[in-house]
Amino acid sequence: MTDSEINSDYYLVDDFLNDEERAIRLKVRAFADAEVLPIINDYWDRAAFPFELIPKIAGLGIVGGTIEGYGCPGLSRLGAGMVSLEMSRADGSINTFIGVQSGLTMGTINMLGSEEQKQRWLPGLAALDLVGAFGLTEPNHGSDSVALETSARLDGAHYVLNGAKRWIGNASFADVVVIWARDEADARVKAFVMEKNPDGSFPEGYDATVITGKVGKRAILQPDIVITNLRIPAENRLVNGHSFKDAVRVLNSTRGGASWEALGHGIAAYEAAVAYARDRVQFGKPIGSYQLVQNKLANMLAELTAMQLLCFRLATLADQGKMTGAMASLAKMHTAQKARWICQEARDMLGGNGLLLENHVARHLTDMEVVHTYEGTDSIQSLLIGRDITGISAFA
């Protein structure tokens, strides 16, 4: 390492990667640096999605993550972690697009679908010929999604759905949308796959309106959805989804991805802060020569290193089948808190320049506000962990 390079891997955790995982990291980093970073600030500023990147992402061969078969790459958990880390190191919106596609949409179908359903949808999603979305959160049910109100009623060969969803990434243009609804027959929450019509239009009863005015993740389109007598073929109900517990299984499997994303934002902010501290001259010296700045950088690196160790260990436990939901919650809670703090410290260190998109830190900071909230806030994660610690649920 030369003096100009920035070491954000202080405890050499990359040594835990095998050759394939290291190659994935390098490939995704090169793509992010060449294709995402040069254009993303403009899209973020306009709150527009860079559709031009979809075929390029497809060419990476990473969509589908850890899923084996059906045209998916069958990555290890560490390999999938490298995808999330390097994409979010460039931009959170693009990482969310991939996460919704690979983890939430494809993960749900792979986990809860029949073999016929997997064959029907996963290959197209893996090739990005189809774009997916995952509809769980509702206007009145975020942290308490277990109480979701969207209903499904069997009517002959179709289910008729009514309700509303909110913050559903990709759902304003997705070809396939997994919609979680409560079956009126038994009051259990189940998953239904809505498909676009052959002409590319949405079926009658599905109305998506993109949410505007966001301060974070501005380059991912997240609409409100109004569902009115939406008819979905009965054969599109995922056959192994029997209750909300199955939705929790999906979320537990993807929560590690949110931790890797937090790590990616933290790395980007830390590296920007180090580069700025070396180059920015105030009072005749680089600000990196001052004790206050060095203390900040040392503490940022310490938290970053702890995040890396958590993420790497969680991935290993997942590959070994030993990861629990509470373990995933611990990683998500800790990494979201610390990455948010690192981004705040980096923004502060850059002063007024930290407010400019051209320096990237402000984008990572506001995107971390989103990561801090989605897939379970740190408060909810703490209650999940607390229940595991005490054996007592603090939920109402």
* b (16+ CB within 10 A) / e for 77-102: bbbbbbbbbbbbbbbbbbbbbbbbbb
382/347 Cα distance (integer angstroms)? 27
Could you tell me which residues are beta bridge partners of residue 225?
A: 165, 208
Domains with residue ranges and CATH for the chain: 13-127 (1.10.540.10), 132-236 (2.40.110.10), 244-390 (1.20.140.10)
How many angstroms from the chain centroid is the CA of residue 247? Answer: 16
pTM: 0.94
**Structure tokens that stand for 273 in this block:** 């802060």
Helix, strand, or coil (residue 114): coil
CB 43 within 8 A of CB 219: yes
**Structure tokens that stand for 293 in this block:** 């700045």
How far, CA to CA in Å, does 353 sit from each of 119, 171, 176, 188, 297?
A: 50, 35, 41, 51, 18
378/386 Cα distance (integer angstroms)? 12
Query: How do the pLDDT tens digits run along the chain, 396 residues long?
Result: 344 689 999 999 999 999 999 999 999 999 999 999 999 999 999 999 999 999 999 999 999 999 999 999 999 999 999 999 999 999 999 999 999 999 999 999 999 999 999 999 999 999 999 999 999 999 999 888 888 999 999 999 999 999 999 999 999 999 999 999 999 999 999 999 999 999 999 999 999 999 999 999 999 999 999 999 999 999 999 999 999 999 988 888 887 889 999 999 999 999 999 999 999 999 999 999 999 999 999 999 999 999 999 999 999 999 999 999 999 999 999 999 999 999 999 999 999 999 999 999 999 999 999 999 988 888 999 999 999 999 999 986
| Per-residue model confidence (pLDDT) at position 1 | 39
Provide the 10 A C-beta neighbour count for residue 298. Answer: 9
The letter for the amino acid at 160 is V
**Structure tokens that stand for 106 in this block:** 């494809």
> What φ, ψ does residue 231 adopt, rounded to 5°?
-100, 120
Helix, strand, or coil (residue 159): strand
